[in-house]
Amino acid sequence: MDETIRRGEVIGGKYRIEGVLGVGAMGIVYAAHHLQLDERVALKALRSELVAYPDAVKRFSREAQAAAKIKNEHVTRVFDVGELPDGTPYIVMESLEGEDLARWLAARGALRLEEAIAFVLQACEALAEAHALGIVHRDLKPSNLFCARRPDGSLSIKILDFGISKIAVLATSASQSGRASGGKSVVGSPFYMSPEQMQSSHDVDHRTDIWALGVILFELLTTALPFEGESLPEVCVKVATRPPRSLRDLRDDLPEEVEATIAKCLEKDPDKRFENLAEFAGSLFPFAGKRARLSIERVVQVSRRARSMAAKAASDGASTGRHS
């Protein structure tokens, strides 16, 4: 395993490393102790073998930028960024207690309908704010939805890993040409990728996240996937040309309306999907518990505010054009 940082080492003069929490394709997450604040934090460092690749460093930096821009309890808070003496970038984030939904499914099996909807709607709260900022996650999946416990004992979903997000306001010529995320390589997780994302990882909008939410809700309710295959090409063909598996063939206790909601998320043509997260969240209202309905209200409010701001910006632009 990468030995970039060792246990007991103090990073940036204030973060003492206590151990490794996890290792991913891009980075290593360490448990750390903030010495001045006497607080447990998580420190994520880019894998040392990737530091020599500018595109990997940019992608890692985008994760911190995207997460910091979204002021929502369902996104992991970013406290600090920095570099090790050898130039390795790191991000300091809040420490979470719990497990991601991939592990939850493996350990406990399918979720109850109300529980699955509550988790997905919490993710929608954060994504609605991201979409309002022009940020598309592009890699939503159960392993990137972390189930943490609040002080009152209730459960809270935190969206992880905005590293391959498309940030409209920060887009560079490199990312637009496909170089920033590894050239022509597939960016995202194939089982959760929309047809348009499989064709071009960069020419996608917020509706690719809506597709992924449909896949995730299907999986949370059944532990299965709507499109499965033994190889990547087989999965791609099914996503592009085949209808999804029937939800109610796997769980006949689920309402037809929930199956219809998921089917609308999984329309091949983005124009036939829900136009935005407010529409998606609203379709789940009849099956949501009291707290989850509060999530729907927040999603609708964020979407309404974003549309209002967009309309005002368009009006101001038109006015400027008339007077120039």
81, 92 Cβ separation under 8 angstroms: yes
Annotated active-site positions, please? Answer: 139
Distance of CA 178 to the CA centre of its chain: 20
- Radius of gyration from C-alpha coordinates of the chain: 20
> Could you give the CA distance from residue 283 to residue 304 in angstroms, rounded to a whole number?
16
Hey, which residues does 82 pair with through a beta bridge? 90
Closest CA to 181 of 200, 207, 209: 200
CB 188 within 8 A of CB 233: no
Tokens (6 digits) for 91? 């991000």
**What's the Cα-to-Cα distance from 281 to each of 148, 306, 322, rounded to whole Å?**
21, 16, 39
* Of 267, 256, 250, 251, nearest in space to 214 by CA: 267
Rounded to 5 degrees, φ, ψ at 10 are -105, 120
Q: In angstroms, what CA-CA distances link 175 with 69, 208, 248?
A: 19, 18, 40
Element holding 159 (H helix, E strand): strand 155-159
**Rounded-to-10 torsion of CA 78, 136, 49, 94:** 20
Edge-to-edge strand ranges of the sheet holding 15-23: 10-11, 15-23, 27-34, 39-46, 89-94, 78-83
Residue 92, sorted as left (phi over 0), alpha (psi -120 to 50) or beta, turns out to be beta
Q: Is the Cβ–Cβ distance between 133 and 169 less than 8 Å?
A: yes
